[in-house]
């Protein structure tokens, strides 16, 4: 009997067409992910800074949280789009 991990890996291979990535592609994808994570961390730091400047205003805090959510989503989408380009998708 196969483990859940083995089944997931097989499904992933079927969905991606079982393409093998070169070492250069793997390194580029890792770098893109690192840059994406750094951008998210930067956005979180800026949000925390702005949150400190709101003086405890709940409406402003909610607006900042929503902005951070949108920023994260945008950064993740950009990163995934770039990764798909590296993979040739």
Query: Is 46 contained in some domain?
Result: yes
Query: Is 57 contained in some domain?
Result: yes
User: What is the domain range of residue 35?
Assistant: 22-87
Query: Is 40 contained in some domain?
Result: yes
Query: Is 28 contained in some domain?
Result: yes
The pTM assigned to this predicted structure is: 0.73
Structure confidence by residue, pLDDT tens digits, 1-57: 778 878 777 777 666 655 688 899 999 999 999 999 999 999 999 999 999 888 888
Query: Is 29 contained in some domain?
Result: yes
- SS3 for the chain is CCCHHHHHHHHHHHHCCCCCCCHHHHHHHHHHHHHHHHHHHHHHHHHHHHHHHCCCCHHHHHHHHHHHHHHHHHHHHHHHHHHHHHHCC
Question: Structurally, how many domains does the chain consist of?
Answer: 1
Query: Is 58 contained in some domain?
Result: yes
């Amino acid at each position: 009997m196969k483990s859940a991990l083995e089944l997931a890996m097989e499904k992933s291979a079927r969905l991606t067409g079982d393409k093998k990535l070169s070492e250069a592609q793997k390194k580029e994808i890792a770098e893109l992910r690192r840059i994406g994570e750094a951008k998210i961390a930067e956005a979180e730091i800026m949000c925390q800074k702005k949150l400190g400047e709101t003086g405890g205003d709940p409406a402003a805090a909610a607006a900042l949280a929503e902005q951070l959510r949108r920023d994260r989503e945008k950064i993740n989408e950009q990163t995934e789009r770039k990764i798909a380009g590296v993979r040739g998708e």
